[in-house]
Amino acid sequence: MKNNTDFYPGYGVFFDEAVGKALFGKDTESIVVSVKDVELVILERYELPESLQQTDLPEGFRIYAARRKEGSSVQVRVWALSKEQRKLADDLNFGDQLYRREDVAVAFMLMPMDLITRNDIGRVVSGLDYEPHLNNREITLSAAREAYERSLPNKEGGLSRERK
């Protein structure tokens, strides 16, 4: 691994290897581990911050979130990302609009993980045995592929996401 590697413990759709490879590139490395003292919850659209509720999310949209909970565990896929790939993950995952990045113990090291801080929202689910997709998997894969393609350099040397 390179010195500038950013380890990203992904849960929910980021636990799905196909989504990660579509978003970060097919050669991106990952491993599956459990994070202790963290629980997994499902947030309904109405539980999201107001700024996200007013976006064009589809009706019935739900998202996984994690928060600290002693004695609980969540299975995550730790992705080895460049800074640019980490930005893609943050953009697709609503960045700091929903989560706060906190250090958690993953294997034998601390790494930042996106967590919510509110305990009064969400429905707790098993963090060790869950379906990564709460929404349409094909739409999620398509959005990941599009984000990846926009991040690639174009023929003029800029990024494909830069509009002229």
Tens of pLDDT along the chain (164 residues) come to: 455 788 999 999 999 999 999 999 999 999 999 999 999 999 998 998 888 888 887 888 899 999 999 999 999 999 999 999 998 888 888 767 788 999 998 878 899 999 999 999 999 999 999 999 998 899 888 888 998 898 887 545 444 444 33
The reply to whether 151 falls in a domain is no
Name the strand (E) or helix (H) holding 99.
Answer: none
The reply to whether 11 falls in a domain is yes
Model pTM? 0.83
The reply to whether 143 falls in a domain is no
* CATH number of residue 51's parent domain: 3.10.490.10
The reply to whether 80 falls in a domain is yes
The reply to whether 120 falls in a domain is yes
Q: What are the tokens at 51?
A: 């700024």
- Domain total of the chain: 1
- The residue segments making up the domain with residue 47 are 6-127
**Partner residues linked to 106 by β-bridges:** 35, 109
The reply to whether 157 falls in a domain is no
- Using CA atoms, how far residue 94 sits from 49, 56, 71, in Å, is 10, 13, 27
